[in-house]
Structure 1
Amino acid sequence: MIKANAYGHGVQRVVEALPDADGFAILEINAAIQLRNSGFTQPILLLEGVFSAAELTACAEFDLAIALHLPMHIEWLEQAQLSRPIAVFLKLNTGMNRLGFPAESAPAWAERLACCPNVASVTVMTHFACADEPSKGIDRQWQRFLAATQSLALPTSSANSAAIFAYPQTHGTWVRPGLALYGSSPFSDQSAASLGLQTVMSLCSEVIATQTVAAGESVGYGASFIAPAPMKIGIVACGYADGYPRHAPTGTPVWVAGQKTRLLGRVSMDMLCIDLTPWPELDVGSPVELWGEHLPIDEVASAAGTLSYELINVRDSCARASADATLNGEWHCV
């Protein structure tokens, strides 16, 4: 899955780092065409299909597969004059109730597609709503998918990141790793490391000033943190303009010079404050990691009451990043 600019990591950078990937899935047709023009030959699937009949011409020209989730899509295919047939993924709604044909209608649509000269191949797909929540699971959706597809003898795709780990019976022909591909766990109760996932993004900065705060004095906007005793505070050059979550509360973990400390007070636009009290030797220039190799992004996201996806994807709008997020690299805020 390389949608949303590869979850904020940069499409071109990610596909270059995954030369052995069996295929890529994306939303934007222009980005897919750019990949073809860059020399990538793997299957490329447009996850939301086409948005006009005219786009089918480009899909044929650049050998792009499309998801079909509306009768209109199939009508467009039947009426199009294409340079060659294209691969299609028949999207079934098994309970997510977002995109897709009613699961029970799969045989009828598959038969219709088999008669369409513009169709090179058909894969049947669905998407699970609760694969990451064991208490809810996928049983109802999985049984509907099996009932709808068992007579079709067609390739299938149903497993997202969570299902890849938790439900191997759903793997089918194609699996669709998304968040897990970028080193984040799809489960709230399992760490990325426990799943064998590796960090691919680091958000780093450094301490640019320190303050000694007396007991009873406050730190940051709104005076939301009051020092219970004399404290040493480090000021870090990173804030919500750089993609750090503004709503992260006091206590959110931060890594500084080999030590794990905590955020204090409100996050400012371009600065935040951390507790240096236990380490009086740390000073201006001490390296800080807001998430990355030493501090799992899932841990930061959990403390901030959000998802790791929301954190990694904000880098696209970060104007102060001195270096892009890279696979096995760093995104430095200065």
Structure 2
Amino acid sequence: MHHRPTLAKINLSAILSNYQQACKLAPKARQVAVIKADAYGHGAIEVATYLEPHVPAFAVAFLDEALALRAAGIGKPILILEGLTGEEELRLAEQFNFWPMLHSNEQLLALMSLTPTPELQCWLKVDTGMHRLGLTPVDAQSWADKLCREMKQRPVLASHFSCAEVLDSPISKHQMQQLFALAAHMECEVSLANSAALIRLPQSAVGWNRPGIMLYGCPPIADKTVAELNLQVAMTVTSQIIAIREVMPGEAVGYNCRWQAEQKSRIATLAIGYADGYPRLTNSASEVFLHGQRARVVGTVSMDMLTIDISHIPEAKVGDEVELWGGNIPVNEVAAHANTIGYELLTRVTQRMHRAYLRD
């Protein structure tokens, strides 16, 4: 039973449409659907269940995320982006058909020390310039050689762009050249393109791609809209007006009196706050959508509530639905007003916000 009028409406058919758009951008490659961080806040089990007939594999960040999907009945291979360590994790990977992205000498030594050697589809993470995780190209070549000899398999060589959203970035070109040269020498498949690279760097979108944020209808590139990228917004966050009051000139609204009315104003209170994932640190330019128009968030966002100025919307009344982000207010726009990115807001939607799933 759900009583609070605040929810995240998740359109699963939009996520499938976005996945199909990723496939259209690289028709000769295969696309791993990235559903880490609870499918970027959209619900990993629901998203995986809906996408499973259409995808060759999923990707998550770590082992527990993969095990939760198996417990829910998801059967497709699952790539584990942070790799695995130690015998127990590697045996679980073998048992459950997880693909480890091995990124360190320690992880690979742990794998090679096991008898019998687990039968795993291994991916090797190569550090081509992100400098976060990965083997040096020299170490990657030596380990790829060992895996070919001892495990009778060619690993997928993967890397991660640091600046994929930047047009004509020399860093991206250098990263691509390094990985492709190594892969050609080793006769291995590659995995390099994320969402931004699928759009900006189509020449990198070969082998296995890893679309993430674009699956959820959030543009990975700041200067492109959802419509321009043929994507559909997957999450719409809505709440309701639970109170309306008149505020006189000079009167303040909310904690610390951050906002004061310059003229007589009509202020509505919504049943959503930072404990639901709406950013507290938003500036005074953030807007919401109701009755076909925008209204500004005023005052400090509270834990459970926030206030908006509806002086220009006389028809607004208690009980009206208000969109916080979605098709009319892009999540990237809300994020920019809070000095962050859409990814963070989507993944910060908390468990207390009810999710309603649309399937068609």
Scaled by the length of structure 1, the TM-score of the pair is 0.91
Aligned to 1:332: none
Query: Quick one: which amino acid aligns to residue 355 of structure 2?
Result: D
Secondary structure of the residue aligned to 2:346 is helix
Give the Cα separation in 2 of the matches to 1:12 and 1:82: 33
The alpha-carbon deviation at position 15 of structure 1 amounts to 0.3
The alpha-carbon deviation at position 84 of structure 1 amounts to 5.3
Secondary structure of the residue aligned to 1:254 is strand
Question: Conserved in 1, the CA contact under 8 Å of 2:91 and 2:118?
Answer: no
Aligned to 2:6: none
Give the Cα separation in 1 of the matches to 2:330 and 2:344: 14
Aligned to 1:81: 115
Give the Cα separation in 2 of the matches to 1:313 and 1:26: 14
Matched, 1:127 2:160: yes
Aligned to 2:193: 159
Which has the larger helix fraction?
Answer: 2
Give the Cα separation in 1 of the matches to 2:68 and 2:267: 47
Number of residue-to-residue matches in the alignment? 325
Could you list the runs of 5+ residues in structure 2 that have no partner in the other structure?
1-33
Query: Quick one: which amino acid aligns to residue 123 of structure 1?
Result: V
Structure scoring higher RCO (CA < 8 A, sep ≥ 6) equals 2
Aligned to 1:8: 41
Secondary structure of the residue aligned to 1:262 is strand
Which of 333, 344, 358 is the aligned partner of 1:299? 333
Question: Conserved in 1, the CA contact under 8 Å of 2:127 and 2:136?
Answer: yes
Secondary structure of the residue aligned to 1:202 is strand
Question: Conserved in 2, the CA contact under 8 Å of 1:60 and 1:84?
Answer: yes
Aligned to 1:147: 181
Give the Cα separation in 2 of the matches to 1:328 and 1:312: 19
Deviations 1:142-198 (A, max 9, x none): 122223222122111000110011101111211101111111111122222321221
Secondary structure of the residue aligned to 2:348 is helix
Deviations 1:25-50 (A, max 9, x none): 11232332343354433221111111
The alpha-carbon deviation at position 141 of structure 1 amounts to 1.3
Give the Cα separation in 2 of the matches to 1:305 and 1:289: 20
Deviations 1:281-306 (A, max 9, x none): 21111111101133211111112211
Secondary structure of the residue aligned to 2:316 is coil
Give the Cα separation in 1 of the matches to 2:69 and 2:245: 49
Question: Conserved in 2, the CA contact under 8 Å of 1:232 and 1:276?
Answer: yes
Matched, 1:234 2:265: no
Give the Cα separation in 1 of the matches to 2:284 and 2:323: 16
Secondary structure of the residue aligned to 1:263 is strand
Question: Conserved in 1, the CA contact under 8 Å of 2:183 and 2:189?
Answer: no
Matched, 1:23 2:91: no
Question: Conserved in 2, the CA contact under 8 Å of 1:157 and 1:175?
Answer: yes
Question: Conserved in 2, the CA contact under 8 Å of 1:201 and 1:325?
Answer: no
Pick closer, same or farther for the CA change 1:38–1:187 going to 2, 3 Å: same
Deviations 1:309-334 (A, max 9, x none): 1111122x343x2x2264679xxxxx
Secondary structure of the residue aligned to 2:221 is coil
Question: Conserved in 2, the CA contact under 8 Å of 1:254 and 1:263?
Answer: yes
Secondary structure of the residue aligned to 1:17 is helix
Query: Quick one: which amino acid aligns to residue 226 of structure 1?
Result: Q
Secondary structure of the residue aligned to 2:126 is strand
Aligned to 1:250: 284
RMSD: 2.0
Could you list the runs of 5+ residues in structure 1 that have no partner in the other structure?
330-334
Secondary structure of the residue aligned to 1:192 is coil
